[in-house]
Structures are given as C-alpha cells and as structure tokens.
Amino acid sequence: MRKKEWKVVVTFETTTSAMGMEKFCKEKGLPGRLIPVPRQITAGCGLAWCDKSEAREMLEKVLNEYELPYQNIYVIEI
C-alpha cells in the first residue's frame, strides 16, 4: 500500500478548465498532474490538478495571475 502524502489539489467546474490547466502547466514546465477528484472532495467535473503541498502558494499565484478558471484549492492527505 502506498504511503499517504499531503498534496495540494485544485478542483474545476468543467473538464475544459481542467484540461486547460494541464496544457498551461505543460507549456510553462510546471509540475503536477491531473487526477480523479479524491473522495474527500466534491467537484463539478471529476478531474483535479495535484501537486506537492508546498506548491500551494505558487499555484494560487499562477491561477490568479493568468486568470485560469478553477473551483477551489485544498490541501489534503492522499
């Protein structure tokens, strides 16, 4: 069984927004990946962006600076 770690999880209302985040992060060389939304969270589209918990501030800055649509940001153990 895999050890649980604290992660930052960004949720989206639409699959298009989640895919847009993935494309943006790949283009900018930002770490993270799309995952199914964890059971602890409810989200609109079922996809979420996941990265190390230390990346929360950086992700918030990027989301707001580039006006990327998102639903919420969580730090959870998964």
Kindly report whether the global pTM for this prediction surpasses the value 0.85.
yes
- The rounded distance, in Å, linking the Cα atoms of 77 and 22 is 22
For residue 8, give both structure tokens: 């930052």
In a domain, 59, yes or no: yes
Is 1 contained in some domain? Answer: no
The CATH number of the domain where 71 resides is what?
A: 3.30.70
Q: Is residue 64 part of a domain?
A: yes
Domain count, the chain: 1
Query: Are 60 and 54 a contacting pair, CB within 8 Å?
Result: no
Q: pLDDT tens digits, residue range 40-78?
A: 898 679 999 999 999 999 999 999 999 999 999 999 999
As a whole number of angstroms, the distance between CA 22 and CA 9 comes to 13
Residue 60 lies in a domain: yes
Amino acid at 46: G
19 occurs within a structural domain: yes
Residue that the structure tokens 């918030």 belong to: 60
